[in-house]
Structure 1
Amino acid sequence: MSSGYGMRQQQTAKMHMTPRLRQAIRILQLSTAELWEHVREELQDNPLLESGAMRGYSHDQSYDPLLHAQSRNSTLETHLTEQLTFTPDIPDPIRKIILYMIGNLDSNGYLELSLGEIVNDLAVDLEQAERALAILHSFEPAGVGARNLRECLLLQTEALPQYPRIVPLLITNYLEDVANYRIHKLSAAMKVSQEAVKQAIEHIQGLNPRPGAIYQPAVTPYVIPDVIVAKDGEHFVVSIHEAALPRLSINAHYQRMAKEIESKEARQFLRERVSSAGFFIKCLEQRRSTLLRVARAMVEEQVEFFREGPAAGLKPMILRQIADKLSVHESTVSRAAAGKYAQTPWGIFELAFFFSSGIHSDIEHRVSAENVKQSIRKRILQEDGSKPYSDRQLAEMLQGEGTRISRRTVAKYREELGIGSSVKRKR
């Protein structure tokens, strides 16, 4: 047996990614917002492309423009400055200090500078800074201008006409015990009944630790669904939302010029642009077709969800299931679903939502994570408020039904549902 170097021929299959193929793949993967940005770029680059308005905007009765209106909430700075403007009898030096303080509030409404720093920055007296801060503390929302959480909660309490008498002391000296609901310890320390402590804690829990957050400048998020799933008797009809699709065409005048113009160079240029525009329109149609096929297959797989709603939960579903169903590659399904949304009888959902991750069960089928979350929610809603279930108890209940799940996973799902711990749920 000998070894050595040699040469041999071997055939291998390899797909060549042409620029046009890359463009088709990219267009399929784009979200609606990204697609429209890409369309704008193409319109600027190719004069032969023409665009109408978004399809269906003027005729689609299901499209409500009010759902897409931007929020016009004022900022915290604007809100406070307006109050300062209409508060009389404030000397100009104090007014300037207040304006400086307003400009140094964080997004939650807390003052980021100490009074000593303000005195140094503005070269004013400490007494003037304290007076300015007191005025700022009198503004709405209550608690604004606080320098820490305790001060924020105290300011809000003092702004109320009445409150449990032990509240200020609890906030000042026992805030950590309040947060952990240590009723017995607080009752003994304050020498009051447990019921009095509970009432005081309920008052504190009703306060806002982030008073400035509601004035954050933001645009109301909105989604134009790519797919519409509508119930028709016992069946579901899946369609592409025309409002999310660009409507493009090739300029007829330039198209004729590409055939009739005498200049060879000009004719070649126009023909290339016609070809490019035609391929781009073809990519958009292919995107539409692929998205529709993927959405229909997903609805067929998750039909119980669409019939019964979120309470029914989701079947475990992976990309390969849809890919095999449609005889396409997994990456095609992944690109078609990425960043796309479906309008359903139960609300708007991201297509990725329907590809639920699963956890193993002792019984033959698998239970999706979404199903487990709904089971956790249901049990917490039915629990005795005086004896809420711990995460371990919830895990044991699910395990008793054949679902292998750890306490840590229960805690994770509970937090994702926005539900507090058993200590915080205790009433």
Structure 2
Amino acid sequence: MGKVIDTGADLPHPPPLTAEQRKLISATVPILAEHGVTITTLMYKRMLEAYPDMKNIFSHSKQMRGHQPQALASAVYAYAAHIEDLTPILPVVERIAHKHASVHIIPSQYAIVGTHLLGAMSEVLGADTFNGDLYNAWETAYWNLAHIFIDRERQLYEAAAWTGWREFVVEKKVKESDEITSFYFRPKDSKPLDPYRPGQYISIQRFIPELGHYQNRQYSLSDASSPEHYRISVKREDGIRTVKSSGELDTKDAGTPGWMSNLLHATLHEGDTVELAYPFGEFYLDDSSAPVVLLSAGVGLTPLLSMLNTLVSSETKRPVSWIQAVRNSRVHAFKSHVSSMAKANPEQVKTAIFYSSPVEGDVQGQDYDFLGRLDVDKVDRSVLRLDDPSAQYYVCGPEVFMAATFKALKTHGVDGSRIHAEVFGAGANPA
């Protein structure tokens, strides 16, 4: 833990692309559409064989399922498709830069990726095709983009209280529902924590002996900033094995989404030491005085809960609506917390709760307001703050939920610039 920042001064610094080079890049867009995933799959295979330490950075499950190659292929394609004007992809660049900073990507690693990406392009497209001017154009394009990331990530590192990994102790482990458990982490060195922006996330790193390398995951901070601790609230996924009866880790499901989260549930206990990164993330509460509407489904509530707690504890008393979709009371995390908050602050906080599968004992009008999935059309305009053209909307949950909610809000006249969506990955905002 410290502030060691690699500036990348010894890396190639090519000039901007020429008009002819941009034409060459644009001409490869159809080829990337057809062969992009093949190229990036080969790139990752070769790179991780040559540099096994890079496995400490990349998600094992995303590699196993092909999500990492697909994400990189999409990014390369988008870069080529917008080579004449990068403005449309800058929000994605910002999102990726924050993710890179959260796992402490350093400039020298861009050289490794560049070598293997260009090598994979040459093999897949053929050395007779990918050579000369085309190769030079792509090499220049790669380093132009790499330096956009390097420069932005350096800014993020310079603004952070520390870079790399810092040791924390699990102070508390609290069950919030049948699926979600909160972990409270206090810094092992007892030094106070800097405030973060409500909505941001931290990375947690753990060594997995059975895999032979570290794995990291990002979890939204689920509470308002505290100088004493961080809190994350993690969902456990059913049917994913993490520990054998012998006590050894079971890595058979390590390629399954949620394996790392289940591992935290099963093996991370109060008093344990973990390594965390500084908070990052471009999805956070704005600083205006405009009303805020928070719409969540499932564990997507976590970054929005940080926003809610921050708003209610602040002196501004900014109006806020909490609109949440859950299956039933058994998995309704922070139910009493949000309810108590709304009752204590009736002029500031409005709520609307949807249950899709109520269980025995769940009472409409008491435990929840609406039956079914979250439907914006059922929510009162005053709760949605639709009559205030400055209201800001924050949406988090499964991709299908976010896309449907985004579309519904736009149908009600909410401009897309006022809708902010948290995407757990490197994709674009739903539209």
TM (norm. structure 2) is: 0.24
Name the structure with the higher helix share: 1
* Structure number, greater radius of gyration: 1
